[in-house]
Each structure stands twice: as structure tokens, then as C-alpha cells.
């Protein structure tokens, strides 16, 4: 039975079935850092400049529904259904604006470095898997000091299909040479959660910006507020108990 806040109190134990854990996969925007407000600001200001929506600024509800977690090809089609080329050019210009903002304002999700250490202490493999352009993803990862943390960075547009297709996550498994039966994912969008679930892995959803009820519809294992959340650490402790390891580095 799901609780009123969208949580199932028993679902965190599902991660214990992954023991011995081999790898952890992360989305980037909204998962490593709270970057959606910067994306929203860039879209809002640039759409205002071209008179989109009859000059009325788009709101966060529109942003979540139309933009969050989606690939730029799909965003371009949604914004300019009759002119894909214009839409893609607009998205490229918006990404350039976003990168300027990121250099000044980026902050990690609370507890990110704590879970990073947990992963490193156990010698687990790790990948960043994102629909963001490679320039964005690599800039964010560098600013956060995670360049040496990730074994590989998978970009949706470099796969046959981007999220919500499972292709990017399946590619991560292939490159890391790990099994989906021993890997889980951190994601913050419905699109990303759907991709991870379709790839056959449990997904821990971060309710960074997207409404919990929307995320729950995508069927994550459970939701957390951030990486300090006690639900996450209870689940990681269960993995340790089942694998018979605590902080041994492989």
C-alpha cells in the first residue's frame, strides 16, 4: 500500500536483492545538481525574447510538463512543431546560455559527496547517463569535481534512442561490463525513471523539482529528497548486510 506522500515503506528493501552490487548509474541534471532552475530561467528568458506564448512568460508547471528530462530533439518539436531546424537552433542557443549560468551558480545535491564516498569505498563502477548535450554534461561533472569519479559518460543523442528509451542505460551496462541484476540508478525525472525501469533496473527517484506523484507514476523503487535521506541509507545498509561487506574497498 502506498502512503499518502507517495512512498511505499517496504520498497527500499528491493535494493538488497542487487547484492553483491556492481555499479551505480546517475542522471546528471537534477540528480547530481539542482540545475533545473537554470534551465527554466534560460528557456523563460529566451522564449520571452521571441514572443513565444504571446509574450506571456512560461511558468514552472509548463517547464516540468514540456521540458524537464526530455531530449532537445523532442523539445525542439514541442516548441516549433512546424520548424524543427529553428527549434534545434533555439535549443543550441539556450544550452550556451545555460552553460554561462552554470559556471556561476551550480551546487551539488545535498549528500552527493557522501554517497560518492560510499560508492568509492566499495569499488563500484559508475556512469553518468543523461539526455543533456555532452558539453553540458561534461561541464557540470567538471564543476562538481566528478571528472575522475565516473568511468563513462553516456549521452542520449549518441545512442540509437534517448531517454525515455532504455538505450542509454543499456549502453552503460555494456560499457561498464556489469549486470542489470546488480546495478541501480539515481534519476530525478519521469522520463529518466521510465528509461531505467525499461532497462530492467531499480531506480531511486530524487524529488528535486518534479512533483512526487508524477515521479511515482514512472514506477521508481522509492523516492528520496536528496542523498542525505534516511530511506536511501537504510537501503544501502541492507545491501551491505546482504553482501557481507561494509566499507571494504575492492
Indicate whether 156 belongs to any domain.
yes
- Examine the domain organization and report whether 53 and 112 are in the same domain: no
**pLDDT tens, residue by residue, 107-161:** 999 999 999 999 999 999 999 999 999 999 999 999 999 999 999 999 999 999 9
**pLDDT tens, residue by residue, 9-54:** 445 568 999 999 999 999 999 999 999 899 999 999 999 999 998 8
- C-alpha cell of residue 74: 523532442
Sheet arrangement for strand 23-26: 152-155, 125-130, 23-26, 183-187, 203-206, 222-224
- Examine the domain organization and report whether 95 and 138 are in the same domain: no
The CA-atom distances, in angstroms, between 39 and each of 50, 94, 174 are 17, 8, 30
Domain final residue pick, 105, 124, 156 = 105
Write the DSSP symbol of residue 206: E
- C-alpha cell of residue 143: 564543476
Contacts of 148 (CB under 8 A, 6+ apart): none
Q: Please tell me whether residue 127 adopts helix, strand or coil conformation.
A: strand
pTM for the model: 0.84
Nearest to 192 by CA among 169, 164, 212, 216: 164
> Is the pLDDT reported for residue 8 higher than 60?
no
For residue 244, the model assigns a pLDDT of: 84
- Examine the domain organization and report whether 19 and 134 are in the same domain: yes
Task: Say which CATH number the domain at 120 has.
Answer: 3.40.50.1000
**What's the rounded Cα separation, in Å, for the pair 132 and 129?**
9
Indicate whether 237 belongs to any domain.
yes
Task: Please give the tally of structural domains in the chain.
Answer: 2
What residue numbers bound the domain in which 82 lies?
A: 36-105
Write out the catalytic residue numbers: 27, 29
Indicate whether 123 belongs to any domain.
yes
> Following DSSP, what letter does each residue of 75-98 receive, concatenated?
HHHHH-TT-HHHHHHHHHHHHHHH
Q: What angle do CA 92, 207, 173 make, to 5 degrees?
A: 70
- C-alpha cell of residue 70: 526530455
Element (H, E) at 155: strand 152-155
- C-alpha cell of residue 76: 525542439
Amino acid at each position: 500500500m502506498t502512503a499518502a506522500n507517495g512512498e511505499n515503506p517496504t520498497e527500499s528493501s528491493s535494493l538488497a536483492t542487487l547484492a553483491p552490487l556492481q555499479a551505480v548509474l546517475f542522471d546528471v541534471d537534477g540528480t547530481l545538481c539542482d540545475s533545473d532552475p537554470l534551465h527554466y530561467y534560460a528557456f523563460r528568458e529566451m522564449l520571452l525574447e521571441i514572443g513565444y506564448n504571446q509574450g506571456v512568460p512560461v511558468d514552472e508547471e509548463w517547464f516540468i510538463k514540456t521540458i524537464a528530462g526530455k531530449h532537445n530533439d523532442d523539445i525542439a518539436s514541442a516548441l516549433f512543431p512546424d520548424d524543427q531546424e529553428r527549434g534545434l537552433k533555439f535549443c543550441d542557443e539556450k544550452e550556451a546560455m545555460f552553460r554561462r549560468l552554470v559556471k556561476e551558480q551550480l551546487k551539488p545535491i545535498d549528500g552527493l559527496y557522501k554517497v560518492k564516498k560510499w560508492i568509492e569505498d566499495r569499488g563500484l563502477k559508475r556512469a553518468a547517463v543523461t539526455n543533456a548535450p555532452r558539453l553540458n554534461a561534461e561541464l557540470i561533472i567538471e564543476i562538481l569535481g566528478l571528472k575522475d569519479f565516473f568511468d563513462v559518460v553516456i549521452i542520449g543523442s549518441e545512442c540509437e534512442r534517448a531517454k525515455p528509451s532504455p538505450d542509454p542505460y543499456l549502453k552503460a551496462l555494456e560499457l561498464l561490463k556489469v549486470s542489470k541484476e546488480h546495478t541501480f540508478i539515481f534519476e530525478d525525472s519521469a522520463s529518466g525513471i521510465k528509461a531505467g525501469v525499461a532497462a530492467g533496473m531499480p531506480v531511486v527517484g530524487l524529488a528535486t523539482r518534479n512533483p512526487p506523484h508524477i515521479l511515482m507514476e514512472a514506477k521508481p523503487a522509492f523516492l528520496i529528497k536528496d542523498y542525505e535521506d534516511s530511506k536511501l541509507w537504510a537501503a544501502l545498509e541492507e545491501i551491505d548486510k546482504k553482501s557481507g561487506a561494509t566499507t571494504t574497498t575492492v
